[in-house]
């Protein structure tokens, strides 16, 4: 069975040595009392829960899956999942970053993000249950009425109830403007919803007493397309005036999807047959309200892939240090053994270092992004809030798509390290590969994320958001440009920054004449931007490590070596990506459909 050790040392390095998060957070009135010891203590305890409670039931959950009783429409989660959730609630973990007005602890979102990374490493399928709940909490906190907040937020905050988002229908995935679910207004101010949803993660289960579904639907007079979508809160059990649970609502699980991975999470087909719900926000403005939850989910999916990359790396390293096979090409390394451990072989090291570099780079970007989110939500400076909002918007599609692409690469590499054993279920590596594959698909495929980045976030505002991040890169390059020891990191970072600027301009000019140029370049463009962001953070991490490497702590030596590996072996991918992005749409679009 795979093992998991929370990467507390690296988390603390990123928070306290790279980003100095306490100094940043103390400037926010809501977090003026935060301190290093509090953050470290919470994360340490969270790591124990992930490693000791969630990790041991991960493989069992994958093997058992969820079971639907078609008579009652109830779903039983795998053995141990319900007990683990009860322990999670008892420990107060759902409320970490929630509003104290609704029973939350009011800690920074950054702390919650660290918790979710560790839980995803330990058990992604289980973690999706509270993860979806937190997204529902955020959407209702931002757009719910006072009555809805009073009814639902305390229960979502405590974890007594869970939540979902019901978007997808069989004929429409990302193109939500095509959805058909209807909402009929009732004399008492409620609505009756009728329709069918699919692919609803955590859509039905036995972990909590109630499930709060956020459902997109159309009012009778709604305009066509995305401008005619409204958002409704539809509980599994109706809620009485005194907050107790009433009768079963007519929203049911009609089936469970049979999936490649994440078997422990119930991916449900949800049928609404006149289910009673209430409108969230304004009529026909539901997509904007739901985007609060969708954006949180996109960051959350990035955390899923970071978690899988980390745990796959840990297990592959342990195996590579133990498994003996062949002799080193440069001479015997383990003379007391009949063969050398496979970690001596260059390509095994390349696979391990790829996973490590992608995990540690992702952790730095994830924490930085969440810190910007905390500042966006809690700063009393309007300009700070606006700038942070722009930066979060810019990097959200990168966190979702770049992290998940990299996790697919990394988990596959780590399975390869195991050789034939990696293909065998008992080692657990093939589950990490299967689980990671969904992350590139849901919450908007990575192509959708790429179109969002290039089309909306970059070209849509003439590069204003990109320039804000570019200023951070330029300032770092200027500050470190005269340090000889930093040249191996600063020079390629500066070079890539210039190339991204030129590539963006070129694609923008082509797009004026042919919009397909955006679609042809977008996926490669996002990956180039992902490397730009990672190169920025790896250069910053290298700077910290260089200053401390002579102190004797092997942590800094390893960090510096990993930084050098990233710049030498992974960043050069951008040369090919830039070339293919510049190649344009002609070779993609000139073939007639009949010839395919």
Cβ contacts of residue 159 below 8 Å, gap of 6+? Answer: 85, 88, 89, 93, 94, 95, 130, 133, 208
CB 176 within 8 A of CB 238: no
Check whether residue 167 and residue 261 sit in a common domain.
yes
Q: Is residue 291 part of a domain?
A: no
Last residue of a domain, one of 259, 286, 313: 286
* CA–CA dist 383, 426 (Å, integer): 53
Maximum Cα–Cα distance across the chain: 84
Last residue of a domain, one of 286, 312, 337: 286
Q: Is residue 324 part of a domain?
A: no
Give catalytic residues, as residue numbers: 443
Assigned token pair, 282: 């304004």
Check whether residue 198 and residue 233 sit in a common domain.
yes
Check whether residue 565 and residue 513 sit in a common domain.
yes
Q: Is residue 154 part of a domain?
A: no
Check whether residue 80 and residue 194 sit in a common domain.
no
Check whether residue 544 and residue 581 sit in a common domain.
yes
- Mapped onto helix, strand or coil, the DSSP state of residue 197 is strand
Check whether residue 464 and residue 546 sit in a common domain.
yes
Check whether residue 134 and residue 196 sit in a common domain.
no
Task: Work out how many domains the chain is built from and give that number.
Answer: 3
Q: What is the 3-state secondary structure (H, E, C) of 408-463?
A: HHHHHHHHHHCHHHHHCHHHCHHHHHHHHHHCCCCCCCHHHHHHHHHHHHHHHHCC
103 φ, ψ (degrees, to nearest 5): 95, 5
Q: Is residue 322 part of a domain?
A: no
Beta bridge partners of 457: none
- pLDDT by 10s per residue, the chain, length 596: 899 999 999 999 999 999 999 999 999 999 999 999 999 999 999 999 999 999 999 999 999 999 999 999 999 999 999 999 999 999 999 999 999 999 999 999 999 999 999 999 999 999 999 999 988 999 999 999 999 999 999 999 999 999 999 999 998 877 887 899 999 999 999 999 999 999 999 999 999 999 999 999 999 999 999 899 999 999 999 999 999 999 999 999 999 999 999 999 999 999 999 999 999 999 999 988 877 878 888 999 999 999 999 999 999 999 999 999 999 999 999 999 999 999 999 999 999 999 999 999 999 999 999 999 999 999 999 999 999 999 999 999 999 999 999 999 999 999 999 999 999 999 999 999 999 999 999 999 999 999 999 999 999 999 999 999 999 999 999 999 999 999 999 999 999 999 999 999 999 999 999 999 999 999 999 999 999 999 999 999 999 999 999 999 999 999 999 999 999 999 999 999 999 999 999 999 999 999 99
CATH of the domain at 85: 1.10.540.10
CB 418 within 8 A of CB 319: yes
Check whether residue 168 and residue 44 sit in a common domain.
no
Looking only at the bridges linking them, the beta strands covering 230-235 and 267-280 are antiparallel
- For the chain, helix, strand, coil in percent to 5 are 65, 10, 25
Check whether residue 463 and residue 512 sit in a common domain.
yes
Q: Is residue 132 part of a domain?
A: yes
Q: Is residue 306 part of a domain?
A: no
Check whether residue 116 and residue 30 sit in a common domain.
yes
Q: Is residue 501 part of a domain?
A: yes
- Mapped onto helix, strand or coil, the DSSP state of residue 96 is coil
Check whether residue 47 and residue 175 sit in a common domain.
no
pLDDT value, residue 177: 79
* CA–CA dist 268, 94 (Å, integer): 23
Cβ contacts of residue 570 below 8 Å, gap of 6+? Answer: 354, 357, 358, 531
Domain membership of residue 515 as a residue range:
449-586
In the block, tokens 């451990």 appear at 341
pLDDT value, residue 293: 75
Q: Is residue 299 part of a domain?
A: no
Check whether residue 517 and residue 572 sit in a common domain.
yes
CATH of the domain at 281: 2.40.110.20
Q: How far is CA 291 from CA 31, 213, 406, in A?
A: 26, 15, 25
CB 215 within 8 A of CB 228: no
Residues making up the chain, counted from first to last: 596
Last residue of a domain, one of 286, 304, 329: 286
């Amino acid at each position: 069975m795979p093992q998991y050790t929370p990467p507390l040392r690296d988390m603390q390095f990123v928070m306290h040595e790279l980003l100095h998060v306490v100094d940043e957070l103390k400037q926010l009135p809501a977090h003026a009392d935060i301190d290093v010891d509090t953050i470290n203590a919470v994360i340490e305890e969270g790591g124990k829960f992930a490693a000791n409670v969630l990790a041991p039931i991960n493989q069992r959950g994958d093997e058992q899956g969820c079971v639907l009783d078609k008579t009652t429409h109830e779903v039983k989660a795998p053995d141990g999942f319900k007990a683990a959730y009860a322990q999670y609630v008892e420990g107060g973990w759902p409320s970490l970053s929630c509003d104290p007005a609704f029973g939350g602890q009011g800690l920074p979102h950054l702390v919650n993000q660290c918790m979710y990374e560790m839980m995803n490493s330990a058990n992604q399928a289980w973690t999706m249950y509270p993860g979806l709940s937190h997204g529902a909490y955020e959407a209702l906190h931002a757009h719910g009425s006072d009555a809805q907040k009073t009814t639902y937020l305390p229960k979502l905050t405590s974890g007594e109830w869970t939540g979902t988002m019901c978007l997808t229908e069989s004929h429409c995935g990302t193109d939500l403007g095509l959805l058909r679910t209807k909402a009929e207004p009732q004399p008492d101010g409620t609505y009756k919803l009728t329709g069918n949803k699919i692919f609803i993660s955590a859509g039905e289960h036995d972990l909590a007493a109630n499930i709060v579904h956020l459902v997109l639907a159309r009012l009778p007079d709604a305009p066509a397309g995305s401008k005619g979508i409204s958002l409704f809160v539809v509980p599994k059990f109706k809620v009485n005036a005194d907050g107790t649970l009433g009768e079963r609502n007519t929203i049911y699980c009609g089936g469970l999807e049979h999936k490649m991975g994440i078997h422990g999470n119930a991916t449900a087909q949800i049928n609404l047959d006149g289910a009673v719900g209430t409108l969230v926000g304004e009529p026909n403005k539901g997509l904007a309200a739901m985007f609060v939850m969708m954006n949180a989910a996109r960051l959350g999916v990035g955390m899923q892939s970071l978690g899988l990359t980390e745990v796959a790396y840990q297990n592959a390293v342990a195996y590579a240090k133990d498994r003996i096979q062949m002799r080193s090409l440069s001479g015997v390394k383990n003379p007391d053994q009949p063969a050398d451990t496979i970690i001596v072989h260059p390509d095994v090291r390349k696979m391990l270092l790829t996973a490590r570099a992608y995990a540690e780079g992702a952790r730095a970007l994830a924490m930085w992004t969440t810190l910007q989110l905390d500042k966006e939500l809690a700063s009393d400076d309007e300009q700070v809030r606006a700038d942070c909002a722009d930066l979060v918007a810019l990097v959200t599609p990168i966190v979702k798509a770049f992290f998940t692409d990299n996790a697919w690469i990394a988990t596959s590499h780590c399975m390869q390290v195991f050789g034939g054993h990696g293909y065998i279920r008992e080692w657990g590596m093939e589950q990490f590969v299967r689980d990671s594959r969904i992350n590139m698909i849901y919450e908007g495929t990575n192509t959708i994320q790429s179109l969002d980045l290039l089309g909306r976030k970059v070209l849509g505002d003439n590069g204003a958001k990109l320039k804000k991040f570019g200023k951070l890169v330029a300032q770092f390059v200027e500050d470190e440009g005269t340090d000889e020891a930093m040249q191996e990191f600063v020079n390629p970072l500066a070079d890539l920054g210039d190339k991204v600027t030129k590539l963006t301009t070129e694609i923008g000019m082509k797009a004026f004449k042919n919009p397909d140029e955006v679609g042809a370049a977008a996926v490669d463009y996002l990956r180039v931007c992902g490397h730009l962001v990672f190169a920025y953070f790896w250069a910053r991490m290298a700077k910290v490590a260089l200053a401390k490497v002579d102190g004797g702590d092997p942590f800094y030596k390893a960090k510096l070596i990993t930084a050098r590996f990233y710049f030498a072996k992974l960043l050069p991918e951008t040369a090919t990506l830039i070339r293919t992005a510049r190649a344009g749409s002609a070779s993609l679009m000139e073939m007639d459909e009949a010839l395919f």
